[in-house]
Amino acid sequence: MTIVPRSYKRTRKYRPNIWFEKLMALVAVINLIIVGFDLSYVPLRDFWLSGQVTIGGIKSAYIKLDGVKLDLISEDVSRFITQYDAVKGIIPNRDTEEYLDKVAQLRAELTVNGVDTPVAQNLFGDIRRRSIEIVQTDAFSEANKTGNLERIKNRMRSHLPNKDNSAKTAFWQYWTVKNFQGKVTPELEFFDREIKPLFETNYYRVVGENGGYVDYFGFIDFPFGIFFAVEFLGRTWLISRRHINISWLDAMLWRWYDFFFFIPGWRWLRVIPVTVRLNQAQIINLNSIQKQLSQGLVAGIAEDITEVVIIRLINQIQSSIRNGDISRLLSQQTANPYVDINNTNETAEIIRILAKVIADRVLPAIQPEAESLLQYSVDKAIRESPAYRGIKLLPGGDRTIINLSNQLISQTYSAFSSTLQAALAEDEQFDRLLESLVSNLGSSLSNELQAQQSMNKIELLLIDLLEEIKINYVERLSQEDIEDILEQTRSLRNISHKSPEY
């Protein structure tokens, strides 16, 4: 039986149950839909009340189109949905409700007894008075429905035009025996079709003791908050157990977006954790959007980062030059003792390695080309010398000179290569001499430069050169087309993804 160490158990990759993730994502979506309905109920209450939308309606000083009215939900569904008024603390407005009750009483009286009865005349007078009061006091303002009152006034003015274009006059003329005489049915149909639905949209919201509107949505949302809070605690506890050096608090911060599920305010922000959960449940794919967002962020800050990093680097180099680090580097002398971590002179060792590579590998490889170049140079020098003209007149003199030069060059090259290889062989005396040479070379160079007062001038020139680089080139780097760079990055990623893996 193999015993698996606890450390291995805690470092294995966590693979969530995809069906559990889908279930939790579904619950989150349901909660988000309920929250969205609650947030939009008051602004869309007119639609839930009538179940109609008007398409193509245009009213202006030059054109008037009534548009097309579409019934999207039935009256029964509308009546069921508007029961949500109790959750938002919405009750009928007393003034408009009494107004519609008076109109209903007048309708019943006109249908049974006609327009000439004393009861009908009293009702006409009462409704006229109430109409003027509603227009003057703006009874729709508490529900923020003043726009609906303006529609009522406009429709009444269009129905009964008057020279003053007054809504009060139109209402006064409408609710009269003379206007209803012989046309009770058409006038009541006009009111039911154009005026009554707008009156029904008016309401009053109950104000609580805290000064805000009464809202009982918290009782609906509370079970969801408890559910997601328990799930959050359990999930983060498992995360802390499955990862080394991750505390429970760290795991909670890891899932920071889930906090929006049980925060009473800003419920619309729950779209963030819902979107994340849908992506984790593989219901939607946000990888392409994530790439675009990250690339957009990179494009936005790359220019500033490029400029800041390069200027910071140049400023650091300038500061080092002003502090005399170049001189101390050449002499390997600093204010503090030089720290040697491996008892090795790295500069001398690098020179020895390079020299050995040249002697063992480079010189033999380039021997034919080097001998040809040397042969050509020697031949050219000999032919241009005055002695060559005399030797050339002797029998075989020209050939003799060529053979001698060839042998001399070949032997010299071979001797140089052999001598260098022998010198680079394991030899402690050679290593000490080489290290002494390198050390004295840097020290002598630094001393001579300082003796000739050239170091200060070199430092000033280097500082000015770096300043010119900042002015002339850093701005060009920051203005480089970041989109081209990102396009090249995407191309490289595509190539790497397409390349076979072994």
Give per-residue pLDDT as tens, 94-141.
999 999 999 999 999 998 888 889 999 999 999 999 999 999 988 898
Q: Is the pLDDT of residue 175 over 90?
A: yes
Note the pLDDT of residue 475.
Answer: 59
CA 61 to chain centre: 46
Q: Is the pLDDT of residue 6 over 50?
A: no
Distances (CA, A) of 457 to 141, 245, 327, 447: 82, 55, 12, 15
Tokens 């006609």 locate to: 114
Task: Spell out the domain ranges in the chain.
Answer: 17-35+215-285, 96-205, 327-335+345-452
Q: With bands split at pLDDT 50, 70 and 90, how would you rate the model's confidence at 422?
A: low
What is the spatial distance between Cα 276 and Cα 258, in angstroms, rounded to a whole number? 9
User: How does pLDDT run across 299-313, given as a tens digit for each residue?
Assistant: 666 666 666 677 777
Q: Is the pLDDT of residue 4 over 70?
A: no
Candidates 391, 387, 411; CA nearest to 399 is: 391
Highest mean pLDDT among 55-69, 79-93, 419-433, 488-502: 79-93
Q: Is the pLDDT of residue 75 over 70?
A: yes
**Mean pLDDT score across all residues of the chain:** 78
Note the pLDDT of residue 293.
Answer: 67
The pTM for the full model equals: 0.58
Q: With bands split at pLDDT 50, 70 and 90, how would you rate the model's confidence at 1?
A: very low
Note the pLDDT of residue 420.
Answer: 66
Q: With bands split at pLDDT 50, 70 and 90, how would you rate the model's confidence at 282?
A: confident
Candidates 158, 164, 150; CA nearest to 190 is: 158
Extract the tokens encoding 358: 């040249």
Mean pLDDT score, 66-86: 85
Q: Is the pLDDT of residue 409 over 80?
A: no
Distances (CA, A) of 343 to 332, 338, 346: 15, 11, 9
Note the pLDDT of residue 66.
Answer: 63
Q: With bands split at pLDDT 50, 70 and 90, how would you rate the model's confidence at 334?
A: very low
Percent of the chain whose pLDDT exceeds 90: 28
Q: What is the DSSP letter of 114?
A: -
Helix, strand, coil % in the chain, rounded to nearest 5: 75, 5, 25
Note the pLDDT of residue 318.
Answer: 77
Can you say whether the dihedral through the CA atoms of 31, 32, 37, 42 is positive or negative?
positive
Task: Provide the H-helix boundaries in 114-216.
Answer: 118-137, 146-159, 167-174, 177-180, 184-190, 196-200
Tokens 């080092």 locate to: 320
Strand 58-59 versus strand 90-92 pairing type: unpaired
Candidates 409, 349, 417, 346; CA nearest to 381 is: 409
What is the spatial distance between Cα 429 and Cα 80, in angstroms, rounded to a whole number? 103
- The answer for residues whose C-beta is within 8 angstroms of residue 180's C-beta and 6 or more apart is 110, 115, 124, 187
What is the spatial distance between Cα 475 and Cα 306, in angstroms, rounded to a whole number? 9
Q: What is the number of alpha carbons within 13 Å of residue 204 lying toward its C-beta?
A: 11
Mean pLDDT score, 492-498: 61
Mean pLDDT score, 445-467: 68
Mean pLDDT score, 425-441: 68
Q: Is the pLDDT of residue 257 over 60?
A: yes
User: How does pLDDT run across 356-404, given as a tens digit for each residue?
Assistant: 777 777 777 777 877 777 777 767 766 666 655 555 555 555 666 666 6
Note the pLDDT of residue 244.
Answer: 81
What is the spatial distance between Cα 446 and Cα 435, in angstroms, rounded to a whole number? 17
Note the pLDDT of residue 32.
Answer: 94
